[in-house]
Amino acid sequence: MARELKLMKGNEAIAEAAIRAGADAYFGYPITPQSEVIEYLMAEKPHERTGKVVLQAESEVAAINMVYGAAGAGKRVWTSSSSPGISLKQEGISYIAGAELPCVILNVVRGGPGLGTIQPSQADYFQSVKGGGHGDYRLIVLAPSSVQEMADYVVDAFDLAFKYRNPVLILSDGVIGQMMEKVYLIEQRPRLTDEEIKQRYAWATTGKKDGTERRVITSLALKADEMEAHNIHLQKKYAEIEANEVRFEEFQCDDAEYVFVAYGSSARVCQKAVQLARSKGIKAGLLRLITLFPFPKAEIGRLTGQVKGMLAVEMSSGQMIEDVKLAVNGRIKAEHFGRFGGNIPTPDEVVNALETQIIGG
């Protein structure tokens, strides 16, 4: 079937793809560099196209709680923001994880801390993969590195969210959100009818029919034993996600002696750095992470039997490197290289870092 080809910004592509994925609702609040998401949605009138609800909330806090309500009633719902706004959503995300509700959250990351900068960054890695809000929980975290993947991953994200009844975070950044690339779009998928939702999601609060048990969406368990049991259940789910959903991509790793480990925009830079390194006679490869949780521990472990060193490249002062080092477990040299605060590393800087920190270091 011919897929539609368009030239779009990452933020627009994900908004369009979410409509086509059959999303029922979006709640958001403007913040650079992701305001195009809600602007695009409002301009597209999805309520007329598919019946999808789009609402500009009074804050990110309100938006994530609107997501909670709609998700608790079985709807495919999503929200987007950028770093400061994502910080505000954390209490709500923790509740959503605790109550085991499916939803999709997009973070188009900008530089921090604080108000920081509107320039791109990857400094929200810890917040994304280590919890972010309070309590023992995990998000499934997908990291697109192109406009095409912004469109593709939102479709996957909804599927994963419902498969595991777990929030899925799409961790993007200001580069991917703002840049324009060509993108193939899927055909419109129908939204589920209310009847289908009732049939599929017995847990959803769609109104208690006489003679049936009432449904309760909650993250509360006042008794310690109950809360512990709920936590054990959550941990089992996370283990299952780790066993089944690890995703990554490798470029020229077959004969590589050194690999870059990167995701998102940094992975794009590293692809160029691989070419540059090889032109200098260095056998470099790239492990591009697609899922940040679950983290591709086993693949990194496998690569330590093949390569001499790894350079984790990230637009932060060194967050993902901690997980890389855990997976490497001291077997080979692994170091971090980053530009941050809104800066993007160049391929030259990356190759130079490989030469000085790993090969010569």
Partner 1 sequence: MLAKDIIKPENLVYQKTKLMTDNVLSYCPGCGHGTAHRITMEVLEEMGIGEETIGVAPVGCSVLAYEFMNIDMQQAAHGRAPAVATGIKRCYPEKFVFTYQGDGDLAAIGTAETIHACNRGENITIIFVNNGIYGMTGGQMAPTTLPGMRSSTSPYGRDVDMMGNPLKMTELVAQLPGTSFVSRQAVHTPKHVRKAKKAIRQAFELQKQKKGTTFVEIVSNCNSGWKMTPVQANKWMEENMFPFYPLGDIKVPE
Binding-residue pattern over the window 7 to 26 for partner 1, x denoting contact by CB under 8 A = -----------------xx-
Altogether, the residues listed in the chain come to a count of 361
CB 85 within 8 A of CB 115: no
| CB 82 within 8 Å of CB 32 | yes
Closest CB to partner 1 among residues 95, 125: 95
* CA 62/CA 321 separation, integer angstroms: 34
Cis bond upstream, residue 84 (ω within 30): no
> Least distance in Å: CB of 202 to partner 1?
12
Told to check if 60 binds partner 1 by CB under 8 A, we report no
User: CA torsion 312→313→315→320, rounded to 10°?
Assistant: -20
DSSP tag of 30: -
Among 11, 35, 65, 80, binds partner 1 (CB under 8 A): 65
Candidate segments 139-147, 212-220, 244-252, 349-357, binder of partner 1 by CB under 8 A: 212-220
Among residues 48, 113, 190, 214, the one that binds partner 1 under rule CB under 8 A: 214
61 binds partner 1 (CB under 8 A): yes
- Both structure tokens of 127: 């917040």
48 binds partner 1 (CB under 8 A): no
66 scored as a contact of partner 1 (CB under 8 A)? yes
Please, what is the minimum distance in Å from the beta carbon of residue 198 to partner 1? Answer: 11
Which residue type, as a one-letter code, is found at position 160? L
Measured from the CB atom, the residue of 196 and 249 that comes closer to partner 1 is 196
List phi, psi (to 5°) of 76.
-85, 105
218 counts as binding partner 1 under rule CB under 8 A: yes
Out of 12, 19, 27, 85, the only residue in the binding site for partner 1 (CB under 8 A) is 27
Site for partner 1 in 74-133 (CB under 8 A): 75, 77, 91-92, 95, 99
Q: What is the DSSP string of 116-183?
A: --SSB--TTHHHHHS-SSSSS---EEE---SHHHHHHHHHHHHHHHHHHT-EEEEEEEHHHHH-EEEE
42 binds partner 1 (CB under 8 A): no
Among 7, 115, 202, 216, binds partner 1 (CB under 8 A): 216
Residue 211 is given by DSSP the state T
Please pick, from the candidates 1, 48, 58, 281, the single residue that binds partner 1 as defined by CB under 8 A: 58
- In the structure encoding, which two tokens stand for residue 80, read together? 């987007």
Q: Give the interface segment with partner 1, choosing from 70-78, 117-125, 258-266, 310-318 (CB under 8 A).
A: 70-78
> Least distance in Å: CB of 203 to partner 1?
10
Tokens describing residue 274: 């691989």
Q: Pick the piece of the chain touching partner 1 (CB under 8 A) from 62-70, 226-234, 252-260, 304-312.
A: 62-70
The least CB distance from residue 197 to partner 1, in Å, is: 9
In the DSSP assignment, the letter for residue 110 is: B
Let me know if 209 is exposed, middle or buried by CB neighbors in 10 A (0-12, 13-18, 19+): exposed
* Rounded (5°) CA angle 38-44-50: 105
| CB closer to partner 1, 187 vs 210 | 210
User: Does 275 sit near partner 1 (CB under 8 A)?
Assistant: no
**Choice between 52 and 288, CB closer to partner 1:** 52
CA–CA dist 154, 176 (Å, integer): 14
Q: Which positions from 172 to 201 touch partner 1 by CB under 8 A, shown as an x/- string?
A: ----------------------x-------
164 and 97 Cβ atoms separated by less than 8 Å: no
Q: Given the rule CB under 8 A, which residues bind partner 1?
A: 24-25, 27, 53, 55, 57-59, 61-63, 65-73, 75, 77, 91-92, 95, 99, 194, 205-210, 214-220
